[in-house]
């Protein structure tokens, strides 16, 4: 099934809020979350099999563990989850009030620490944060955010990136691999804020989830902008790919050679007219790229 010249639909079953795709190299399968649907999804491209696990609360992001299990970031904490048995065990409680805040984008650094942002649902004031889970403890590292997204590390592991979606800004900081400390925080890229009453066709979107390729270029899903952009290591937009969905949420490199770019998307709370015009909203899209991505980091 195609959705444009280069973009195709990889998973036609629509999620409400598809997010946080992760390519598992050992299984050659794509895991991703449906946050609003309280589901974890697993797609196997070779067989076309799609299966899911249902939970009683939001599941926002994940990372693979070396023992075959997964680390899940859920509204009520961090959990180890066994996809075979369906059993899970909480390893850390949520460090916030779950009535107004939840975990969001999360990924492991090259050393196996799990970094996970939060979203402060009232949006104002900016009370969300970027946190690091290591040695059984969740430690706050960056405060004063609203919607923490876009986690990615440079190929040499010396630079960390994240976005604050509501602020239309992507940040970067120097990263100390030995200690996991951040320094020299700076703006990597910023985008015009949507103005009241501005038509979406004239709006470029705001940076949501992201992925890093082997050349150190940062791929960002521009929520409500109906596009995927590739930024150089200096933060310059060097490629733009139009998408058949208004709200892409996160890209992820997958496939045997990590040259298939999977993109999750959302249909949650979108206008009926938009959903009629965009039947692929909530689906997982895919396209082939020349430069491979970086492999996923496993959680310790």
Q: What's the rounded Cα separation, in Å, for the pair 180 and 25?
A: 25
Tell me, yes or no, if 208 is annotated catalytic.
yes
- The sheet carrying 18-24 orders its strands as 18-24, 29-34, 39-44, 49-54
Report the number of secondary-structure helices (H) and strands (E) in the chain: 1, 24
Q: What's the rounded Cα separation, in Å, for the pair 121 and 147?
A: 8
Catalytic residue among 208, 213, 257, 290: 208
Both tokens of 259, joined, read 């040259």
| Region at 27 (left for phi over 0; alpha for psi -120 to 50; beta for the rest) | alpha
First to last CA, the chain: 38
Positions marked active-site: 208
């Amino acid at each position: 099934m195609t959705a444009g010249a280069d973009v195709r639909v990889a998973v036609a079953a629509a999620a409400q809020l598809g997010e946080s795709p992760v390519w598992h190299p050992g299984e050659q399968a794509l895991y991703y979350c449906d946050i609003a649907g309280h589901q974890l999804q697993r797609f196997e491209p070779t067989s076309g099999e799609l299966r899911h696990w249902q939970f009683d609360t939001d599941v926002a992001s994940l990372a693979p563990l070396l023992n075959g299990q997964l680390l899940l970031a859920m509204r009520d904490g961090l959990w180890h989850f066994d996809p075979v048995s369906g059993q899970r065990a909480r390893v850390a409680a949520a460090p916030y009030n779950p009535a107004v805040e939840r975990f969001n984008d999360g990924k492991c650094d090259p050393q196996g620490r799990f970094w996970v942002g939060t979203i402060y649902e009232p949006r104002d004031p900016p009370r969300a944060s970027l946190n690091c889970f290591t040695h059984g403890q969740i430690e706050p590292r960056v405060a004063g955010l609203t919607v923490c997204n876009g986690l990615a590390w440079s190929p040499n592991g010396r630079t960390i990136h994240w976005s604050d979606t509501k602020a239309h800004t992507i940040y970067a900081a120097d990263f100390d691999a030995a200690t996991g400390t951040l320094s020299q925080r700076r703006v990597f890229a910023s985008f015009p804020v949507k103005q009241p009453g501005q038509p979406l066709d004239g709006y470029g979107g705001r940076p949501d989830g992201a992925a890093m390729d082997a050349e150190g270029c940062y791929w960002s899903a521009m929520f409500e902008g109906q596009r995927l952009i590739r930024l150089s290591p200096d933060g310059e937009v060097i490629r733009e790919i139009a998408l058949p969905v208004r709200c892409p949420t996160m890209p992820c490199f997958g496939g045997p050679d990590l040259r298939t770019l999977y993109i999750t998307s959302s249909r949650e709370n979108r206008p009926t007219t938009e959903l009629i015009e965009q039947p692929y909203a909530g689906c997982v899209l895919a396209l082939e790229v020349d430069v491979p991505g970086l492999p996923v980091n496993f959680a310790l």
